[in-house]
C-alpha cells in the first residue's frame, strides 16, 4: 500500500507481513479471569472487582501501554458481565454467543409457567414472598476444571439446535438440526422474591427474566408465575369490590342491629342498621373493598348481602305479641 503523510507530504509504502485474526482471540477471552474472579462470581462481586481494578489500572495513574491495555481489558470484560443478557450468554456459550447476540442471531428458550398460590389477604395488603425453584443451568467450570468438586453433579446438556448449511441441488439452504451438546449442565436451586402488589388479581403474572432452564448459547426464557387466588371464607372478590353475606334475626330485621366486621388487614368495619331490613337487602360501605392496582390509595366498596333467619315456629305467647304489635291485614282479594 502506498500513500502520503498528510502533514509532511512524505511518500510512504506499507507492506502487510501477516493478517492477525483478532476475532479468534476475542472468542477465547476469559472475562472472569480479567477481573480476578471465580467463574461463579455474583453481580455484587463483579461490580466490586471492577471498581477496584479500574482505579488500580486507570490511565491517569498508569500512562504505560501495558496498564492501558489491562484497563481496556477490564473495562471490556465488565461491560459484558454487567449486562444481564450478555453475561448469561457468556456463561452458557462463551464469547461466540455474545457476538451472535450483538448481531441479533441468538435464540431464546421457552418461558416456564407455573401457578403461585396467594391469599386474598396478601392481595389486599401487598406482600413479598419467597419461592424456591430448581432449574437446569450450564456449568462453565466443567470445560476448564472438570475435576472441581462443584462439577460433581454435572451431566451432559440436552442436544443443541444449530443452523447448518445443506446442499440441495444447485442451492444451499439453512436447516435446523439437533446436535449433541459438548457442554455440561446441572440442577441448581435458587430462591426468588415474589413481589405481590396491592390490588393484584388472580390470573396476573409475575415474570423473572432469564430464570427458565438454560441451554448452551441461548438466552433463557422467563420464569412466569401466575397468581392463583385462594378462596376466602368470609369475602368474595368481584373486581375491586368485596362481597360478603350476613345473617340476622327477625328481631334485628325489625328493630335494627349493629355488626362489627374484621377486615382482611385486621381493621374493623361497623355496619349499623336502624331501619327495617328487607330480605336480601345489600348494604354498601364505600371505600372498604380492595385497593385499586393503579392507585393503591383508592379502594372499591364492601357489599354486604343480608339474609333474615325466620323462626321455624312461634309459641302461643309470641303469636299474641306479634298480633298485638301489628294491625290485622285487610281482607285479601281473590287471585
- Per-residue pLDDT at 19 exceeds 50: no
Kindly report the number of other CB atoms within 10 A of residue 45's CB atom: 14
pLDDT at 259: 97
Decide: helix, strand or coil at residue 154: coil
pLDDT at 13: 63
Contacts of 108 (CB under 8 A, 6+ apart): 218, 219, 220, 221
pLDDT at 18: 40
Q: Where are the domains of the chain?
A: 22-82, 112-229, 236-325
Note the pLDDT tens digit of each residue in 53-69.
999 998 888 888 888 89
Tell me which CATH homologous superfamily contains domain 236-325. Urease metallochaperone UreE, N-terminal domain (2.60.260.20)
Answer with the residue of higher pLDDT: 24 or 327: 327
Q: What are phi and psi of 261, to 5 degrees?
A: -120, 125
24 pLDDT tier (thresholds 50, 70, 90):
very low
Note the pLDDT tens digit of each residue in 304-314.
999 999 999 99
Q: Do 22-82 and 236-325 share a fold? A: no
d(CA 61, CA 167): 57
Average pLDDT on 222-227 reads 97
- Per-residue pLDDT at 144 exceeds 50: yes
Kindly report the number of other CB atoms within 10 A of residue 290's CB atom: 25
H helices of 57-108, in order, are 65-81, 84-102
pLDDT at 6: 64
Note the pLDDT tens digit of each residue in 229-255.
999 999 999 999 999 999 999 999 999
Computed on alpha carbons and rounded to an integer, the radius of gyration of the chain in Å comes to: 36
pLDDT at 21: 41
- Per-residue pLDDT at 212 exceeds 70: yes
Longest CA–CA separation in the chain, Å:
130
For domain 22-82, the CATH architecture is Orthogonal Bundle (1.10)
* Cβ contact 213:158 at 8 Å: no
- Class of CATH domain 112-229: mainly beta
Lowest mean pLDDT among 16-25, 262-271, 321-330: 16-25
Average pLDDT on 144-164 reads 78
Note the pLDDT tens digit of each residue in 74-131.
999 999 999 999 999 998 888 989 999 999 988 898 999 999 999 999 999 999 999 9
* Cβ contact 106:89 at 8 Å: yes
pLDDT at 5: 62
Q: Mean pLDDT across the chain, nearest whole number?
A: 88
* Cβ contact 204:118 at 8 Å: no
Q: Which residue is listed with cell 423473572?
A: 208
Nearest to 72 by CA among 82, 58, 83, 61: 58
pLDDT at 25: 44
d(CA 272, CA 84): 57
Take residue 30 and report the three cell numbers written for it.
476469559
Decide: helix, strand or coil at residue 322: helix
Decide: helix, strand or coil at residue 107: coil
Average pLDDT on 254-278 reads 96
Q: Which residues are 185's β-sheet partners?
A: 138, 155
Nearest to 106 by CA among 118, 90, 120: 90
d(CA 216, CA 159): 9
Amino acid at each position: 500500500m502506498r500513500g502520503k503523510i498528510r502533514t509532511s507530504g512524505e511518500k510512504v509504502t506499507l507492506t502487510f507481513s501477516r493478517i492477525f485474526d483478532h476475532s479468534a482471540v476475542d472468542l477465547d477471552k476469559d472475562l472472569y479471569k480479567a477481573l480476578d474472579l471465580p467463574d461463579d462470581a455474583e453481580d455484587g462481586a463483579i461490580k466490586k472487582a471492577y471498581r477496584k481494578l479500574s482505579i488500580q489500572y486507570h490511565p491517569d495513574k498508569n500512562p504505560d501501554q501495558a496498564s492501558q491495555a489491562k484497563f481496556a481489558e477490564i473495562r471490556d470484560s465488565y461491560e459484558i458481565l454487567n449486562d444481564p443478557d450478555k453475561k448469561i450468554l457468556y456463561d452458557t456459550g462463551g464469547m461466540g454467543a455474545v457476538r451472535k447476540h450483538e448481531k441479533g442471531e441468538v435464540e431464546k428458550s421457552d418461558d416456564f409457567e407455573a401457578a403461585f398460590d396467594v391469599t386474598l389477604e396478601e392481595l389486599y395488603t401487598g406482600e413479598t414472598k419467597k419461592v424456591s425453584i430448581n432449574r437446569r443451568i450450564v456449568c462453565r467450570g466443567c470445560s476448564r476444571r472438570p475435576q472441581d468438586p462443584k462439577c460433581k453433579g454435572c451431566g451432559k446438556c440436552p442436544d443443541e439446535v444449530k443452523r447448518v448449511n445443506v446442499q440441495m441441488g444447485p442451492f444451499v439452504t439453512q436447516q435446523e438440526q439437533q446436535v449433541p451438546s459438548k457442554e455440561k449442565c446441572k440442577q441448581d436451586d435458587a430462591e426468588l422474591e415474589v413481589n405481590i402488589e396491592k390490588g393484584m388479581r388472580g390470573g396476573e403474572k409475575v415474570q423473572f427474566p432469564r430464570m427458565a432452564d438454560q441451554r448452551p448459547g441461548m438466552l433463557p426464557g422467563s420464569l412466569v408465575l401466575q397468581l392463583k387466588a385462594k378462596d376466602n371464607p368470609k369475602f368474595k372478590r368481584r373486581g375491586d369490590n368485596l362481597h360478603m353475606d350476613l345473617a340476622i334475626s327477625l328481631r334485628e330485621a325489625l328493630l335494627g342491629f349493629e355488626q362489627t366486621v374484621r377486615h382482611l388487614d385486621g381493621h374493623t368495619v361497623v355496619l349499623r342498621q336502624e331501619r327495617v331490613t328487607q330480605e336480601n337487602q345489600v348494604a354498601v360501605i364505600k371505600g372498604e373493598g380492595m385497593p385499586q392496582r393503579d392507585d393503591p390509595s383508592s379502594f372499591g366498596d364492601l357489599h354486604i348481602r343480608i339474609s333474615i333467619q325466620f323462626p321455624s315456629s312461634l309459641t302461643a305467647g309470641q303469636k299474641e305479641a306479634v298480633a298485638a304489635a301489628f294491625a290485622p291485614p285487610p281482607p285479601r282479594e281473590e287471585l
